[in-house]
């Protein structure tokens, strides 16, 4: 009886072992590089790495020559109406015509010290005027989120016919981010404050992007 039971047990184990299959997954070979699609720029649809020309203010530049800030500004500029575009006085330095900006002929090419030419009291007075302009004198700007001094090397100081007509000590430029511009994603704007002489009052002479 024990031999018969042992026989059936061995037979069952043999059948189970024979019925077990080993399933293997065939390796998938990588796609031939020659069949790969060429990557394209999602914005322009042109192959990645390609360049394109951009024309503004009568000057043509390659996209790769422009700074990221200028590209963002141009993108914002083209969303404006024609009337609003014509009202803007700001032109990115990359698109400035030769001769429209004064060059400083100094041995070390150090720009004039516009900020240092003013006293702390004068800086405070002009900053308060800039803040007042965007909060009370003009409506629709929804307050001031950020305000700081423009660098002495800012090309706006050399803007012929406006800022360039004032010497250090009689002009200062602030960069201002208004609540309206922040909400709309607009670039930070500038405000130029100047006076003809030390005895004159400070006035806003220019503002824009």
Across the beta sheet with 144-149, what order do the strands follow?
144-149, 171-178, 189-194, 203-208
**Average of per-residue pLDDT across 86-99:** 69
**Looking at the domain assignment, is residue 68 inside a domain?**
yes
pLDDT of residue 11: 53
Residues 68 and 140 in one domain: no
**Looking at the domain assignment, is residue 133 inside a domain?**
yes
**Looking at the domain assignment, is residue 60 inside a domain?**
yes
- The C-alpha R_g of the chain, in whole angstroms, comes to 34
Residue 102 has pLDDT above 70, yes or no: no
**Looking at the domain assignment, is residue 34 inside a domain?**
no
Q: What does the alpha-carbon distance between residue 142 and residue 151 come to, in Å, rounded to a whole number? A: 25
Residues 140 and 91 in one domain: no
Residue 190 has pLDDT above 70, yes or no: yes
- pLDDT > 90: what percent of the chain? 37
At 15-26, the pLDDT tens digits run 444 444 434 444
Residues 146 and 196 in one domain: yes
Residues 81 and 135 in one domain: no
The tally of domains found in the chain comes to: 2
pLDDT of residue 97: 64
**Average of per-residue pLDDT across 55-68:** 86
pLDDT of residue 44: 39
DSSP string computed for 174-201:
EEEEEHHHHHHTPPPEEEEEE-SSTTSP
DSSP string computed for 67-99:
-HHHHHHHHHHTTS-HHHHHH-----GGGPPTT
Residues 156 and 195 in one domain: yes
Answer whether 0.85 is exceeded by the pTM: no
Residues 195 and 149 in one domain: yes
The residue ranking higher by pLDDT, 11 or 118, is 118
- Domain stop point among 95, 129, 148: 95
**Looking at the domain assignment, is residue 180 inside a domain?**
yes
pLDDT of residue 109: 56
Residues 83 and 138 in one domain: no
Residues 137 and 60 in one domain: no
**Looking at the domain assignment, is residue 135 inside a domain?**
yes
- Domain stop point among 78, 95, 112: 95
Structural domain including 200 reads 120-208
User: Strand, helix or coil at 203?
Assistant: strand
pLDDT band at 84 (very low <50, low <70, confident <90, very high): low
Residues 138 and 187 in one domain: yes
At 103-157, the pLDDT tens digits run 444 445 566 889 999 999 999 999 999 999 999 887 789 989 999 999 999 999 9
pLDDT of residue 78: 83
Residue corresponding to tokens 């394209």:
40
Residue 51 has pLDDT above 70, yes or no: yes
**Average of per-residue pLDDT across 162-179:** 94
Residue 35 has pLDDT above 50, yes or no: no
């Amino acid at each position: 009886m024990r031999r018969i039971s042992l026989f059936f047990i061995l037979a069952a184990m043999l059948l189970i072992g024979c019925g077990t299959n080993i399933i293997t997954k065939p390796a998938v070979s990588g796609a031939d590089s020659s069949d790969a699609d060429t990557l394209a720029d999602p914005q322009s649809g042109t192959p990645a790495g390609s360049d394109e020309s951009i024309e503004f203010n009568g000057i043509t530049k390659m996209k790769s020559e422009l700074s990221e800030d200028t590209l963002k500004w141009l993108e914002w500029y083209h969303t404006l109406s024609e009337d609003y575009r014509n009202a803007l006085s700001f032109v990115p330095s990359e698109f400035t015509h030769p001769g429209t900006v004064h060059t400083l002929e100094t041995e070390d090419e150090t720009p004039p010290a516009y900020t240092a030419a003013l006293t702390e009291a004068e800086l405070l007075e002009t900053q308060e005027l800039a803040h007042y302009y965007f909060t009370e004198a003009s409506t629709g700007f929804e307050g001031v989120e950020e305000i700081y001094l423009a660098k002495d090397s800012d090309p706006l100081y050399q803007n012929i016919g406006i800022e360039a007509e004032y010497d250090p000590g009689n002009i200062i430029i602030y960069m201002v981010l208004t609540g309206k511009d922040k909400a709309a994603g607009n670039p930070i704007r500038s405000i130029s404050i100047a006076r003809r002489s030390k005895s004159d009052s400070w006035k806003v002479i220019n503002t824009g992007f």
